Structure 1
Amino acid sequence: MIQAIAFYLFAFLVIASAVLVIMSRNPVHSVLWLILAFFNAAGLMVLLGAEFIAMLLVVVYVGAVAVLFLFVVMMLDIDFAELRAGFIKNFPLGLAIAAILLAELVLGIGALSAGSLELGAATGENAPNLAESNIANVGQLLYSKYIFVFEAAGLILLVAMIGAIVLTHRELKTTRGHQNITKQVRRNPKDATQLKQPTVGKGVEL
């Protein structure tokens, strides 16, 4: 009974949060509603016994993607009127894409109901060990059968991180606005700005 109540509560909050993500006029509010939707989706995953996916939703999507997007939206000077104008301009295109996706979904469900699709049968090769938790089963499979794929994904992420750092900290071609930290640390206090008791309108001497 408690699981049923929790399921309907989480499901209602996920749907309501998703609707508010789309309907909110302020992008910051949309991101906050999106974070709430992720948290409730993680609750649904816990009810299903997939705590590993729930952890990924919280750590990756909420802790990284959503928060990063929230800080970017809050730090940038975004013209909300321009965003609304762009939304209205691209609304027919969005409706067309939504109609195509809906048609594909209906076609797929119809083909599956008619028996035209043959789904793969479970062989039981990767059946989970019921005595272990979901995280333990995923870890055993990930670090045994798919270890090379996992290492390749980590290498790709490492290369992407290095590339982002190199592009961010590339040397500027001009010295305008570029700080020389070593020169600033080694400067002599006597060479700093000195007040020479200027007269009115004379300013200071550097």
Structure 2
Amino acid sequence: MIQTIAFYLFAGLMILSGVLTIMARNPVHSVLWLILAFFNAAGLMVLVGAEFLAMLLVVVYVGAVAVLFLFVVMMLDIDFASMRAGFMKNFPLGIAIALVLLAELVLGIGAYRAGALALGTPDGSAAPIVGVSNIQSLGALLYGPYIFLFEMAGVILLVAMVGAIVLTHREQKSVRGHQNIQKQVRRNPDEAVVMKQPTIGKGIEL
């Protein structure tokens, strides 16, 4: 009984937060609603016994991706009026794409129920280990038969991170008003401006 109540609670909150993510006028509020949707999705994953996916949703999506979106949205100077104008301009195209995707989904479900599509069946090589948790089974699978692919994925992500750092790195330019201590020490006193007490109408002496 408690699982059913928790399921409807998490599912309802996730759908509501997803709708508010799209409908919110403020992008910061949209990101906050998206974080709430991720938390409720993690609760659903815990209910079905996929605690590893729940941990990924919280750690990766909430702790990294959503927080990154939040910082980017808050730091950028966004013209909300132009964004809303662009949204209304592209609204018919978005509706058309949504209808096409809905038609494909309905056709796919109908073809599967009619027997035209045959999904693959597991061969037992990735069966969970008896007596251990899902995380231990997934770890044994990743660091066992798929260790080479797992390491290659890590290398690709490392190369992507280094490439992003190289592309975004810029040489620091001298900022207006920045003091150069060495230049000030090496200055020639004869070329400096000497402040005098000028009389009225005679100006200053260089």
Classify the TM-score, shorter chain. Answer: 0.7 to 0.9
Q: TM-score, normalised by structure 2?
A: 0.85
In structure 2, the residue matched to 1:50 is 50
What one-letter code is carried by the residue in structure 2 that aligns with 1:63? G
In structure 2, the residue matched to 1:137 is 137
In structure 1, the residue matched to 2:153 is 153
Instruction: Quote the sequence identity (%).
Output: 69
In structure 2, the residue matched to 1:187 is 182
* Distance change in 2, residues 1:190/1:196 (3 Å): farther
In structure 2, the residue matched to 1:115 is 115
User: Which stretches of structure 1, 4 residues or more, deviate above 4 A after TM superposition?
Assistant: 188-192, 194-200
* Deviation digits for residues 54-81 of structure 1 (CA, Å, limit 9, x no counterpart): 1111111111111101111101110000
Q: Supply the distance in 1 between the matched residues of 2:146 and 2:134 (Cα, whole angstroms).
A: 17
* Deviation digits for residues 118-156 of structure 1 (CA, Å, limit 9, x no counterpart): 111222221112311111111110111111111111111
In structure 1, the residue matched to 2:174 is 178
Which is greater in Rg? Answer: 2
Is there any run of 5+ residues in structure 2 with no aligned partner, and where? none
Q: Supply the distance in 2 between the matched residues of 1:199 and 1:9 (Cα, whole angstroms).
A: 80
Q: How many residues align?
A: 194
Is there any run of 5+ residues in structure 1 with no aligned partner, and where? none
* Distance change in 2, residues 1:61/1:190 (3 Å): same
In structure 2, the residue matched to 1:90 is 90
Q: Supply the distance in 2 between the matched residues of 1:131 and 1:83 (Cα, whole angstroms).
A: 53
Q: 1:22-33 maps to which residues of 2 (within 5 A)?
A: 22-33=22-33
What one-letter code is carried by the residue in structure 1 that aligns with 2:182? R
* Distance change in 2, residues 1:199/1:10 (3 Å): farther
Q: Supply the distance in 1 between the matched residues of 2:5 and 2:66 (Cα, whole angstroms).
A: 28
Superposition CA RMSD, Å: 2.6
Q: Supply the distance in 2 between the matched residues of 1:132 and 1:188 (Cα, whole angstroms).
A: 68
In structure 2, the residue matched to 1:167 is 167
